[in-house]
A and B are shown apart, each in its own frame.
Chain A
Amino acid sequence: MAKKMSFWESQKLQGQIVSWILYAIAWAGALIFVIPLVWMISTSLKAPGEIFTMPPKWIPYSELKLEYDTKITAHFPGKVKFEKDADGTERINLGGYSHVIPPIAQLQVRKNQNVEKGDILAVIPEKGRIKLIENPDKTSIIRIVNDEGMTIKEYNLSEDSKPVVKEGEMVTVGQKIANIMPQWSNYAKAWAPKAFDVTFNRFLVNTLIITLTSILGVLLSSTFVAYGFSRFKFPGRDPLFLVMVSTMMIPAQVTMIPTFMLFKYLGWIDTFWPLIIPTFFGGGAFNIFLMRQFFMTIPYELDDAAKIDGCNYFQIFWTILLPLVKPAMATTAIFGFVYNWNDFMNPLIYLNSTSNYTLALGLQTFTTMYGTDYNLMMAASTIVLLPILLIFFFGQRFFIEGVATSGLKG
């Protein structure tokens, strides 16, 4: 008699448990993979004070609370000595440590008085009145003043942050005075940094010109050449195809320098031509390969029928076969778009003037200037990535099919 397995031993349950574990792992991994992008967007909306926080802040929102030391205490014991900086700042020096005494503070010690560590040197009022100042560029200042109008503390707010106190209102240390909202203005700042006379507008236009023209070149020439490889028999066809495929393995650096020299000789440096012209000559082995594979799936009878109808080879290509490879052309176009949009090395080599820069090049240049303004850097990166992400979401199918076809048949 067959032994009956207990409930727990049944294969089906084991399979289910394993499946659930894998499911959890898959989602955990996906979460980890998506974190950098989420972090990018989160940082891009932060105000400067929110960037360098530990633990890291995920939501770009915080509350601004009135904060300052109401007492200035001695760090070291000693005899009180008053000093004045070149810019007029008053200080008390004790044990080598220079305590800043702001104008608003009321001294609690006299000259030459002996103090211990922790003694109060000066006090600053705990309460003050709000003064709101709006700048012409839509940024604002919240100033807390005492009854004589002297400034106790001042905060600069960006155009996105909103004060929650009213003019003249009395506030105390620790009280919330503003909501630091997601800083959408970072995107405007990243797009047109003041130190440059070009903005992302220029980069966008340049990149679009190069990308769209390149796509056109690739679509036209890769289908043209693939047609030749797939529909005709001629001596040397297969060896030539092999040669073409093997060029995929040649590192670009081998031809980089002479190609640069060629374009220099033609006077095309600092123009878009070096980035566009080669695409009209086959558009790359990868694309020809993809197209050729696709052409080969179309039955030859169509060509024969067309020939009988009196079509010449060009007409067969243009009117019959081309419409049939639209999916492959869509894939090629999408890959071409991503490649050109993200391309850094070629624009780096051929484009010199900032006004000719592409998005990739402009992004790199700008970020060397942002220093530690990571919020602006992330905003700029988001701007550059956004079109790619959108294209990916809407054209997913083409990415996946294209990669699968090329990866397998190889």
Chain B
Amino acid sequence: MENEKKISKMKMSTQDAVWGYVFLSPWILGMVFFMGGPIIFSLILAFCKWDMITPINFVGMDNFVKMFSDMRFLHSMYNTFYYTIFSVPLGIIGSIMVALLMNQKWKSVRLLRTIYYLPSVTAGVASAIIWMWLLNPDFGLINYGLSILGIKGPQWMADEVWAKPAFIIMSLWGVGGNMIIYLAGLQGIPRQLYEAAEIDGAGMMQKFRYVTLPMLTPVIFFNLIMSIVWSFQIFTQVYVMTGGQGGPADSTLVMVLYIYQQAFKFHNMGYASAIAWVLFIIILLFTMLQFKISGGWVHYEGELKK
């Protein structure tokens, strides 16, 4: 009897394992064809020169050497960094502030949340077109609003200096997207902590600094990583608003747009792959860096259930 139980238990666990893999199989297949395989091939391509017509030509480090003396590439890196450095922190601060506001107990808070979240759902071509019109130097609402305050608005998309800030402002319109995440985070902070702080005589600002903020740090951490990953990949708005050019004068040529141009306009498949890999490595380094310094500022309460 004992033996039979043992045998059937053994059968169960191997059966378990086999079936586990069966259900995982679509994903595994997908990984091979659409992720693993392509990643390996693109890595190889990065060391080659290929225009899709003539055979693939191995050139070693040529692409990487060319990259770092390519003014357009360096410019695209600068543009992408510029955009990320401003839009990510501003976005996170904005999202948290809006989340704090939306966490109040007003009756109309549901409607308010909807309004703030709405723009992030409209992301894409339509929203880029709306902003093109809003940022029109002569008739756009933005410059009109500035003129009411007595400021003469810049030429925005037609101005080398102001085109990137235009995209940063656009990105702030979407803070509602992350607001939801921070709202959920805020609502997960135990009341007792606030009550304990109040007993100790904490005012509003102190409650925020010593209870809210520390408890939010895990959410901020995750959000920071994903925001950086996403903002490095900005493409659609730039393509739509600059006609795929990244102008004026390459001032909005972001890395992904440059990759797109190299691959699908100039057919430099190898070079484009090399740039894509550099982009990947940059993102990876940023992510690893954040994990390293996270111990210094991220505060985990109790155990994190994985």
A residues whose Cβ falls under 8 Å from a Cβ of B:
18-19, 22-23, 25-27, 29-30, 33-37, 39-40, 43, 51-56, 221, 224-225, 227-229, 231-235, 237, 240, 244, 247-262, 264, 278, 280-282, 288, 313, 317, 338, 342-345, 348-349, 360-361, 363-364, 367-368, 374, 377-378, 380-382, 384-385, 388-389, 392-393, 396, 399-400, 403-405, 407-408, 410
User: Which residues of chain B are near A25, meaning CB under 8 Å?
Assistant: 101
Whether B125 contacts A344 by the Cβ 8 Å rule is yes
- A289 nearest CB across to chain B (Å): 11
Interface centre among A254, A256, A345, A389 (most CB of B within 10 A): A254
- B268 nearest CB across to chain A (Å): 10
Whether A262 contacts B33 by the Cβ 8 Å rule is yes
A-binding segment of B57-65, B70-78, B159-167, B228-236: B228-236
B residues whose Cβ falls under 8 Å from a Cβ of A:
13, 16-24, 26-27, 29-31, 33-35, 37-39, 41-42, 45, 52, 98, 101-102, 104, 106, 112-119, 121-127, 129-131, 133-134, 136, 138-139, 141, 144, 173, 176-178, 180-181, 183-185, 188, 204, 219, 222-223, 225-226, 229, 232-233, 235-236, 239-240, 243, 256, 259-260, 263-264, 269, 272-273, 276-277, 279-280, 283-284, 287
User: Which residues of chain B are near A396, meaning CB under 8 Å?
Assistant: 114
Whether A281 contacts B130 by the Cβ 8 Å rule is no
A52 CA to B13 CA, complexed, in Å: 72
Q: Is chain B's interface secondary structure helix, strand, loop, or mixed overall?
A: helix
| A389/B17 contact (C-beta < 8 A), A249-B283, A363-B129 known | no
Whether A378 contacts B21 by the Cβ 8 Å rule is no
Whether A404 contacts B130 by the Cβ 8 Å rule is no
Interface centre among B29, B104, B125, B232 (most CB of A within 10 A): B125
- Using CB atoms, name the residue of chain A closest to B236: A344
A374 CA to B98 CA, complexed, in Å: 31
Whether B27 contacts A221 by the Cβ 8 Å rule is yes
A232 CA to B13 CA, complexed, in Å: 9
| A407/B185 contact (C-beta < 8 A), A56-B139, A249-B283 known | yes
Q: Is chain A's interface secondary structure helix, strand, loop, or mixed overall?
A: helix
A320 CA to B140 CA, complexed, in Å: 55
Whether B125 contacts A364 by the Cβ 8 Å rule is yes
User: Which residues of chain A are near B127, meaning CB under 8 Å?
Assistant: 36, 381, 385
| A342/B124 contact (C-beta < 8 A), A364-B240, A407-B180 known | yes
User: Which residues of chain B are near A255, meaning CB under 8 Å?
Assistant: 34-35, 38-39, 42
User: Which residues of chain A are near B136, meaning CB under 8 Å?
Assistant: 374
